[in-house]
A and B are shown apart, each in its own frame.
Chain A
Amino acid sequence: MLQIEHLTKIYGDGTVALDDVSFEVPDGEFLVILGLSGAGKSTLLRCINRLIEPTKGRIIWDGTDITASSGEELRQIRRHIGMIFQEFNLVERTSVLINVLSGRLGYVNPWLSLLHYFPREEVDRALRNLERVGIADLAHKRADELSGGQRQRVGIARALMQEPRLMLADEPVASLDPVLAHSILRYLEQLNREDGITVICSLHFLDLVRRYASHVVGLKDGRVVFQGLPDEITDRRFKEIYGEEAERITVA
């Protein structure tokens, strides 16, 4: 169970990106965070694994206060939280295999890892995870030679190396075409259903939300404006989240 309590983030320039955000995510949920560009979705997700320091509030995960941890303890927490990104954030000019293996850095011997040494079983694990996302044959290609969909699958494989219990996905499909979007989200759905990994994913399109979410949090200007089931998002609710002028866009 992940509990977000009164989370506030004010950036150095005074931008209030999150304003007293509170909600809970029970284990095994597929939570979608919905909101306009600039609503604070990325900020919220990055506060959970402390890529961004919250200004106020607490984040408690299975009884551990993530916001209070630091150093080694924080790294221990982070390695159980996978994250995938809109821009994939792969290390270009490096092989797919190394990219995937880098997901395991929190587990392996740190000194040996600096020499790019990984034990045999970790390499096997990486190959298994690549197989799981259907691109085992690309292991030795360079990351910058892949297409967008392939890159995001490498991103998922990298996150899977962490054996995560929680998966954060920041608009994982916003750079992909609709068909690929479904295929990537289906992988997340599969992880959620089969492996019981809790997923917190920010998305733009309501159709995708309806199709994949088990629960939805709507953000607007850093505030929670909706909490509930995907079916409860009526057109009126949608306009509350997205503003009056918003039209629903349909994804194939």
Chain B
Amino acid sequence: MQRKKSPVLSSVLSLIVPGLGQVYAGSPSRGAAFFIAIAVTAILVRWRGNSLLYTGIAVAWLWNVWDACNLAQGRRLSSILPFLAIALVLYVIGWGVTEINLRRLLTDVADVKPLVSDLFQPAVFERDIEELVGEVQFESPCSDSPPAKGSPLESEPYLVLVDKTCGDPGDTFTIEGGNFWPNSRGYIWWSNLAGEMEFRVRYKGDYLTFETDEEGRIPPTTVIVQEPFAEAKDKGPQLYRVQARMRRETGPLHLSETFFLVVEKMVETVFLALMATTIAIIIAIPISFLAARNLMGGNPISMAVYYVVRTILNTLRSIEPLIMAIIFVVWVGLGPFAGVLALAVHSIAALGKLYSEAVESIDPGPIEAITATGANRLQTIVYAVIPQIVPPYLAFTIYRWDINVRMSTIIGFVGGGGIGYLLQQWIRLLMYEEAGAAVWAIAIVVAIMDYASAKAREKIT
């Protein structure tokens, strides 16, 4: 470092390979920083960036030459300028890679409105549903003896065929009916004769609906003859049932089926957290002693155990519980057990580390004092060690419990049981009112648990 280096050579080196001049001038770490920063940024620009961004790299590159020149003369420049140039380039790339699109954030805000409003109307209460069905039989394709047109009934809802009673798929025919609720809307359904295959008929993409008049009559409505069901293909003429269905809510509000389902799954969720936390505590306590340096120090074998345990704990801790859950779902199958295992393993790793740090930070003084009274080892542990580790163990356990309650609500997203499984399904089926009920249940339970554990924590300190 004392001997002056040639500034020209240093500059040329840095011009060819960024950082090389700095290495030559005796500052290898600075050289490495320049090289890595410029190389990585250049690769990223090539991969995802706009060629305009090469300007930023050029600035950094030129500056790096200037820096090498100065360094050779023993002067260190502040590297704020190339740092800013590189940072700017990286943020521009980052903006693109993460597809940030502020315009959409503003223009598409309407899309989320129904979802949010459904979430705020969780399906907690519902009324009973009552349904009116009228039906008539239709044949496709036509046989020698097509069915009758049907006839109006006295007081029951009915449907009759107006023009045809049979036809090929794609043909249209007309129906009408009566004795439905007045001034209401209903849907047309199509099913096979046995009634176990059925669907709502669509017309030009929308469901085919009808509106009744003030006397509950269905005006003439055009229906398209549907394709045969797969199993009835090439079997010749078949009878189908054409139905008009109308539903409405009736009676007083009562707690919904969704509500009870959510409660049931929420109970499962809390138990999932409880089992996982308890299993973790039981296993983490002995492990924490093996991972405590102050207990394991001294002889090489116990030190080896210490390092092995620490390494395992650190590795396990770095695996997210959701990923762990995927592994256990494959192993023990879908359901809460997989979730319990995933959370338990992660918690063992996390608690093992926290507990062992609590053991490491105990004051050796009381241990010394109790040993000096002639107490045996077990007495020393009970009187000098346990009183010191119980408060931190409790605090860490409560903290872990909080995390596990939260995690258990989403572990179901990957099949680990609990309320998350329902929530994920409802979101996929666009059943946002039901999803809303689940979201509210999660929020309420997590808030209650948070409050309770905050109280518990106050007690122990």
Which chain A residues have a beta carbon within 8 Å of chain B's beta carbons?
A: 46, 49, 51, 75-83, 85, 87-94, 98, 102-107, 110, 113-114, 155, 158-159, 161-162, 168
Chain A residue nearest to B383 in the complex (CB): A102
B373 lies within 8 A of chain A by Cβ:
yes
B366 touches A51 (CB 8 A): no
Chain B neighbourhood of A93, CB < 8 A: 387-388, 391
Q: How far is the CB of B294 from chain A (nearest CB, A)?
A: 14
Q: How far apart are the CA atoms of A159 and B387 in the complex, in Å? A: 20
A51 touches B372 (CB 8 A): yes
Q: How far apart are the CA atoms of A102 and B391 in the complex, in Å? A: 20
Chain A neighbourhood of B387, CB < 8 A: 91-94
A158 touches B368 (CB 8 A): no
Q: List 17 A-B contacts (CB under 8 A).
A: A46-B368, A51-B368, A75-B375, A78-B371, A78-B372, A78-B373, A78-B374, A79-B373, A85-B368, A87-B365, A88-B365, A90-B369, A91-B383, A92-B387, A102-B383, A105-B375, A106-B373
B391 touches A158 (CB 8 A): no
A105 touches B383 (CB 8 A): yes
A49 touches B376 (CB 8 A): no
B365 touches A89 (CB 8 A): yes
Q: How far is the CB of A42 from chain B (nearest CB, A)?
A: 10
- Interface SS of chain A: mixed
Chain B residue nearest to A102 in the complex (CB): B383
Q: How far apart are the CA atoms of A93 and B388 in the complex, in Å? A: 8
Q: How far apart are the CA atoms of A67 and B373 in the complex, in Å? A: 17
Chain A residue nearest to B375 in the complex (CB): A105
Q: How far apart are the CA atoms of A82 and B374 in the complex, in Å? A: 9
Contact flags B149-181 to A (C-beta < 8 A → 1, else 0)? 000000000000000000000000000000000
Q: How far is the CB of B389 from chain A (nearest CB, A)?
A: 11
Q: How far is the CB of A71 from chain B (nearest CB, A)?
A: 9
A113 touches B379 (CB 8 A): yes
B142 lies within 8 A of chain A by Cβ:
no
Partner of A105, one of B363, B370, B388: B370
Contact flags B369-412 to A (C-beta < 8 A → 1, else 0)? 11111111011001110011001000000000000000000000
Chain B neighbourhood of A102, CB < 8 A: 370, 373, 375, 383
Known pairs A102-B383, A114-B382; A89 contacts B375 (CB<8 A)? no
Partner of B372, one of A49, A87, A90, A114: A49
The tally of residues in B whose CB lies under 8 Å from a CB in A reads 20
Chain B residue nearest to A159 in the complex (CB): B373
A106 touches B365 (CB 8 A): no
Chain A neighbourhood of B365, CB < 8 A: 85, 87-89
B366 touches A89 (CB 8 A): yes
Q: How far is the CB of A248 from chain B (nearest CB, A)?
A: 30
Q: How far is the CB of A5 from chain B (nearest CB, A)?
A: 22
Chain A residue nearest to B460 in the complex (CB): A93
Chain A neighbourhood of B370, CB < 8 A: 91, 102, 105
B382 touches A158 (CB 8 A): no
B379 touches A89 (CB 8 A): no
Known: A75-B374, A93-B387. 4 other contacts (CB 8 A): A85-B365, A91-B387, A102-B373, A162-B373
Q: How far is the CB of B7 from chain A (nearest CB, A)?
A: 48
Chain A neighbourhood of B373, CB < 8 A: 78-79, 102-106, 158-159, 161-162
Chain A residue nearest to B385 in the complex (CB): A91
Chain A residue nearest to B381 in the complex (CB): A114
9 shortest interchain CB distances as A-B pairs: A106-B374, A79-B374, A89-B365, A105-B375, A89-B369, A78-B374, A83-B372, A75-B374, A91-B366
CB proximity to A under 8 Å, residues B350-369: 363, 365-366, 368-369
Q: How far apart are the CA atoms of A92 and B387 in the complex, in Å? A: 8
Q: How far apart are the CA atoms of A114 and B379 in the complex, in Å? A: 6
Known pairs A91-B387, A94-B387, A110-B379; A83 contacts B374 (CB<8 A)? no
Q: How far apart are the CA atoms of A24 and B372 in the complex, in Å? A: 22
Q: Which of B372, B379, B383 has the most CB of A within 10 A?
A: B372
Q: Which of B374, B378, B387 has the most CB of A within 10 A?
A: B374
Q: How far is the CB of A87 from chain B (nearest CB, A)?
A: 5
Chain B neighbourhood of A49, CB < 8 A: 372
Chain A residue nearest to B379 in the complex (CB): A105
Chain B neighbourhood of A103, CB < 8 A: 373
Q: How far apart are the CA atoms of A161 and B374 in the complex, in Å? A: 11
Chain A neighbourhood of B378, CB < 8 A: 110, 114
Q: How far is the CB of A123 from chain B (nearest CB, A)?
A: 16
